[in-house]
Amino acid sequence: MALEHALLVSLSERSGTGYQLTRRFDRSIGHWWRASHQQIYKTLARMTESGLVTYVEQAQDGKPDKKVYSVTDTGRKALSEWIRTPGNDATDRRELAVKIRGAAPSDIDDLAVEIRRIRDLHAEREAMFLGFVDRDYPEPTVLTGTALQQYLVLRGEVLSERGTVEWLDEVLRALPSPHPRSAD
Amino acid sequence: MALEHALLVSLSERSGTGYQLTRRFDRSIGHWWRASHQQIYKTLARMTESGLVTYVEQAQDGKPDKKVYSVTDTGRKALSEWIRTPGNDATDRRELAVKIRGAAPSDIDDLAVEIRRIRDLHAEREAMFLGFVDRDYPEPTVLTGTALQQYLVLRGEVLSERGTVEWLDEVLRALPSPHPRSAD
DNA sequence: GTCTGCATGTAACTGGTTACATGATTAT
DNA sequence: ATAATCATGTAACCAGTTACATGCAGAC
């Protein structure tokens, strides 16, 4: 249910209408998270009911009334709690991106721990895939047909995991870290 | 609806029961495509109705009857047609991986064209993200707080696109190509 | 007179997840 | 005893997509 969180992040940066959120998602946020206006309206309605956001209705002349949404205290608390809570092992980069983008200064420490954990999971997966390559396709240059195609898909996995690890290493290096690894 | 296609690929490599497919998805295929047994059974039922697969029921003693599924001619044709048809612009790596893994020799030429197209889309996106970095965060080392976090997410996008381009370049180099770019 | 932008939604459907259900065999 | 493996499924729910619907303002 990460769309809720992505909306909370966007609304805490700036309040806005469902329509405006749709446009934001078409632009910057939408590079890593897409959402249609129908989906956003539905989700905002649900979030209003559960108290994460509120809106002020504004009449306009010439244009339809609009509902300007903003995050409630409950919403801010829920977002912070979500960011501080470890995701499951299959947590994907989009979800982690929402957390990175939405973390308040007080969330950063917990977030760094979580990033480190996910980074290590991806490093393990990379090693596993490299092991498969070594075991099943020790000489890739001679492959043809189905075996070649299977190898190439596996290569994609290796490169994808490696890329994620590199990214998260960069993130960990850049983030202010009050928990430097001392002597472990 | 790419689970159908992933199942067709797996079943054309070897026939099997829903249970066996579930295990295959937990292992090799599951690295890039996960599916629960419930989902697989439901999908197999749907695919049987539409004629893409058939099954032979086999009684066993001590164990419940099993349905051994295999791909029909219709299924083989549908798979090949899907592989030859360009996806939409948001085609993701998992879907492309299914196509690469499932392509018969006669599909390879069309597939290479498609891979090239998707590769170029990702290269464009990489350039776009790099442009954003240049414009909005020209000096990343001095960033702190929200701006830093936004930059780091953007960096993730750059690295992800770059990784995909690298992978697809590798694929294009490795695949037998009867269409070398001559002088364009 | 047509298209784009602003602004809201409903309805039907598809795909996927979670929880529940059954039942024998084999290994610890 | 207990858990894992083989083997099948249903039911309820949630998230997301596609299609449909309305209506004014301003630009071309």
Q: What is the pLDDT of residue B182?
A: 53
Rounded to a whole number of angstroms, the distance from the CA of B59 to the nearest CA of chain A is: 33
Chain C positions within 7 A of any protein Cβ atom are: 5-11, 14-20, 23-26
What are the pLDDT digits (tens) for B6-59? 999 999 999 999 999 999 988 877 777 888 999 999 999 999 999 999 999 988
Residue B50, judged by CB atoms within 10 A of its CB (0-12, 13-18, 19+), counts as: exposed
Q: What is the pLDDT of residue B27?
A: 81
Strands (DSSP E) found in B59-130: 66-71
Label the pairing between strands B66-71 and B53-58: antiparallel
Q: What is the pLDDT of residue A2?
A: 86
Task: For residue A170, list chain B residues with Cβ-Cβ distance below 8 A.
Answer: 152, 155, 159
Chain D positions within 7 A of any protein Cβ atom are: 6-11, 14-20, 23-26
Which band of pLDDT confidence, cut at 50, 70 and 90, is reported for residue A114? very high
User: What are the φ and ψ backbone dihedral angles of B58, each rounded to 5 degrees?
Assistant: -125, 120
Q: Residues by CB within 7 Å of nucleic chain D, which ones? A: A 1-3, 34-36, 38-39, 42-43, 46, 61-64; B 17-20, 22-23, 37-38, 41-42, 44-45, 60, 63-67
Q: What is the pLDDT of residue A140?
A: 96
Cβ(A118)–Cβ(A91) under 8 Å? yes
Burial A72-89 (b: 16+ CB within 10 A, else e): beebeebbbebbbeebee
Rounded to a whole number of angstroms, the distance from the CA of B94 to the nearest CA of chain A is: 9
Which band of pLDDT confidence, cut at 50, 70 and 90, is reported for residue A133? very high
CA of A180 vs C1' of C16, distance in Å? 41
Per-residue pLDDT averaged across B130-151, rounded?
95
CA distance linking residue A31 with residue A10, whole number of Å: 14
Nucleotide nearest to A2 (CA to C1'): D15
User: What are the φ and ψ backbone dihedral angles of A50, each rounded to 5 degrees?
Assistant: -90, 5
Burial B109-136 (b: 16+ CB within 10 A, else e): bbbbebbbebbebbbebbeebeebbeee
- Our measurement of the distance from residue B154's CA atom to the centroid of its chain's CA atoms, rounded to an integer in Å, reads 24
Q: How many CB atoms lie within 10 A of CB A46?
A: 13
Per-residue pLDDT averaged across B114-121, rounded?
94
Give the rounded percent of residues in chain A with a pLDDT score beyond 90: 78
Which of B31, B157, B162 minimises the CB distance to A157?
B31
Residue with tokens 């973390």: A103
Q: What is the pLDDT of residue B26?
A: 85
Which band of pLDDT confidence, cut at 50, 70 and 90, is reported for residue A64? confident
The residues, ordered by sequence, that sit 6+ positions from B37 with a Cβ below 8 Å of its Cβ are B18, B19, B22
What are the pLDDT digits (tens) for A65-111? 899 999 999 999 999 999 999 988 777 888 999 999 999 999 999 99
CA distance linking residue A168 with residue B6, whole number of Å: 30
From A75, A120, A116, A79, select the one nearest A99 (Cα to Cα).
Answer: A79
Task: For residue B159, list chain A residues with Cβ-Cβ distance below 8 A.
Answer: 163, 166-167, 170
The residues, ordered by sequence, that sit 6+ positions from B162 with a Cβ below 8 Å of its Cβ are A163, B126
What are the pLDDT digits (tens) for B142-158? 999 999 999 999 999 99
Which band of pLDDT confidence, cut at 50, 70 and 90, is reported for residue A134? very high
A175 interfaces chain B, CB cutoff of 8 Å? yes
Which of B34, B145, B167 minimises the CB distance to A156?
B167
CA of B119 vs C1' of D5, distance in Å? 43
Residue with tokens 């934001």: A24
